[in-house]
Amino acid sequence: MATTASIHAHAAPQGFIRKYIFSLDHKVIGLQYYFLALTAVFVGMFLSLLMRIHLIWPQVSLPLVGEIKPETYLSLLTMHGTIMVFFVLTTAPQGGFGNYFLPIQVGAPDMAFPVLNMLSFWTTFIAFVTIIAAFFVTGGAPLHGWTGYAPLSALPNSGPGEQLGADLWVASIALFCIASLMGALNFITTTLDLRAKGMTLMRMPLTCWSWFITAILGLLAFGVLLSAGILLLLDRNLGTSFYVPLVVVNGQVMGHKGGSPLLWQHLFWFFGHPEVYIAILPGMGVTSQVISTFSRKPIFGYKAMAYALMAIGLLGFMVWGHHMFMSGMSPYSAFAFSIMTMAIGVPSAIKTFNWLGTLWGGRIRLQTPMLFAIGFVSLFVSGGLSGPFLAQPVLDIPLHDTYFVVGHFHLIMGVAAIFGIFAATYYWFPKMFGRMMNERLGQIHFFITLAGTYAIFMPMHYLGLAGQTRRYSQFTEVAYQTKLIPLQTFMTYAAFVTIGVQLVFLFNLFWSMFKGPKASDNPWEATTLEWTTATPPPHDNFGGRTPVVYHGPYEYGVPGAARDYIMQTDPATVPSH
């Protein structure tokens, strides 16, 4: 038990604080991340609801925010985007489920560096507190969008939220970068160095592959955002001119000179596009895992799935310019970015067809995790298909500042990633809490959420094609936009229903945690290592044992086997690949 001894120099802690607050146990840290993301998602969702209400009833005074001025709307938009992208879509799939299940699935007793893991979570937590604080300072929350475009974000007097609120925003992002770098370091080292005997890279569950690739993306991307953020702080507070050209604000000539707003855009999107994949790749991993398990079939094209993840990660670093077609870039660069972007369609299609190929002829069990995994595929296709449209400069330029883009990225990186998180929640809940979630409530949650999200985000494509501009707080002043308000009204009603049904999920989650039926160690009859250990897993994951792996992760329906599945740890009785 060399590994157990070397990682688990820390014994199972007893006191409440060491056990649940400043825990070194990757499972507790995973849950901390998960509940942080759960808090954040409800904050972010509340902000979106305020925006949707304001869009169709502009005169209504809302709770907590009062009268919504155009700049208040921009603050809501900024905070919704920032909280959702960083503290939900990055935090839950990677920090939450990755932390909890990566070590177990590769057969390790903990992460490679447990103290670093704890620091990573608490830094994320401080980052979250910092960004929430931006609501409560003079001037309120920033209004430069989650993308923080300069010079708006670089000049403290450019708007009410751009004073202390914007400084807190940058500080929060910088802290989040540092936390994510620590996390990525841990994930990569754990994957490379702590796999159990027999767990070759090509025997890892695809979830581990997706966390591993995501960690590499994070390692390469977050350092760039951190640098960009430092430059922004210097511009804001120390009078440098990295991003700010000679500029006049409210008739006052600012002291800056010669900076380039496009420099921020390049640095930001060099991070920002990989960030999109950081959000979605873990969802792909979970979807692969769940679809294979609930189809009782090996995943179709395991190696192709792993290589497609790598290809998406690699291409993700070469396409940031497609966010900047509007910036007046050279048509030659735009062409190159456009081709690279459309090339991502290839590995994405490989993944989609392999999911369908896995479902094909399977003995499908339509339980809630499976429903959400299939929902993920659906949203991934619907959201993905508008990608090649926006990848072409000639189409992106008219569509860029419309609802079309909002619809596109919400379907593919927002809701699809959320569906990945839901699939993971329903799938791993029995392992994490030792009880089953309610199946009927899960199905209600799934079908209304699926229909609801389509009802919210599909019309956005039509609105965009009709020329409805995004980031506007209201459309009552412009004649051609006014005619589109009925569709906006429909979307707001859909948002009410969709958000309402999330309360069903919340109820199911907490009720099942205490009152759900007890779960067995392997309720889904799955094959990976987490299902070989106790429920919930002991402090060192395998109760002193060190697992030895003989099989690939998805050996379902193997001819000649006693059951319809072979655990990864079963001694090799059947020829294995």
Partner 1 sequence: MATFSSTITLKDPKLAHGGSGIRPPAVDGGGGGGDDNGYSDYGARLRRARLGTIIALVAVVMVFVALTSAYVVRRGLPVMDERSGSYVRDWMEVNLPTALLLVNTLVLLVSSVTAEFARRQITRRVALVPVESIPGVSIGQERNFPWLPLTALLGLGFLFGQWAAWRELQDRGFALATSASSSFVYLLTATHGVHLAGGVLAMLYAAITSLTRKPVEARRIVVDVTVWYWHFMALLWLYIFALLEFAR
Q: How far apart are CA 181 and CA 189, in angstroms?
A: 12
Which of 58, 145, 198, 467 binds partner 1 (CB under 8 A)? It is 198
Amino acid at 385: L
Q: According to the binding rule CB under 8 A, does residue 2 interact with partner 1?
A: yes
- The kind and range of the H/E element at 308 are helix 302-316
Q: Which of 65, 219, 342, 504 touches partner 1 (CB under 8 A)?
A: 219
- From 128-136, 218-226, 276-284, 350-358, give the range in contact with partner 1 by CB under 8 A: 218-226
First CA to last CA distance, the chain: 27
Tokens of 387: 């990608």
Virtual torsion, Cα 354, 322, 274, 206, nearest 10 deg:
0
> Does residue 552 touch partner 1 according to CB under 8 A?
no
Q: Is 314 in the site for partner 1 (CB under 8 A)?
A: no
Q: Is 237 exposed, middle or buried (0-12, 13-18, 19+ CB in 10 A)?
A: exposed
Tell me the closest approach of the beta carbon of residue 316 to partner 1, in angstroms: 14
Query: Looking at 259, 375, 452, 459, which residue binds partner 1 (CB under 8 A)?
Result: 259
| Contact by Cβ (8 Å): 283, 376 | yes
Question: 309 is written with which tokens?
Answer: 């993840």
70-129 residues in contact with partner 1 (CB under 8 A) are 107, 112-113
Q: Is 3 in the site for partner 1 (CB under 8 A)?
A: yes
Instruction: By CB under 8 A, tell whether 566 contacts partner 1.
Output: no
Q: Does 1 bind partner 1 (CB under 8 A)?
A: yes
Question: According to CB under 8 A, which one of 548, 562, 564, 572 is a site residue for partner 1?
Answer: 548
Give the residue from 495, 405, 415, 501 showing the smallest Cα distance to 456.
495
Nearer Cβ to partner 1, position 7 or 377?
7
- E strand or H helix at 429: helix 416-433
549: contact with partner 1 by CB under 8 A: yes
Question: Does 231 participate in binding partner 1 (rule CB under 8 A)?
Answer: yes
* Interaction of residue 334 with partner 1, rule CB under 8 A: no
Asked if 67 touches partner 1 (CB under 8 A), the answer is: no
Measured from the CB of residue 182, what is the shortest distance to partner 1 in angstroms? 9
Smaller CB separation from partner 1, 263 or 574: 263
Tokens 């690279």 locate to 340
Cα–Cα separations (whole angstroms), residue 258 to 148, 242, 245, 298:
19, 8, 5, 58
Counting contacts by CB under 8 A, is residue 572 touching partner 1? no
- Pick the piece of the chain touching partner 1 (CB under 8 A) from 231-239, 278-286, 305-313, 406-414: 231-239
Q: How far is CA 175 from the centre of its chain?
A: 18
**Which tokens go with 439?**
């199946």
Tell me which of 28, 118, 154, 196 binds partner 1, using CB under 8 A.
Answer: 196
Q: List the one residue from 51, 65, 133, 220 that touches partner 1 (CB under 8 A).
A: 220
Pick 10 or 470: Cβ nearer partner 1: 10
**Residues of this chain, 5-34, that bind partner 1 according to CB under 8 A:** 5-6
Give the shortest CB-256-to-partner 1 separation in angstroms: 9
175 and 127 Cβ atoms separated by less than 8 Å? yes
- Residue 341 · residue 333 · CB < 8 Å: no
Give me 154's structure tokens.
């670089």
**Coil, strand or helix: which one is 210?**
helix
Give me the torsion for CA of 362, 366, 372, 376, rounded to 10°. Answer: 30
- Return residues touching partner 1 (CB under 8 A): 1-3, 5-6, 107, 112-113, 181, 184-185, 188-189, 191-201, 203, 219-224, 226-228, 230-231, 234, 238-242, 245-246, 255, 257-260, 263, 266-267, 270, 546, 548-549
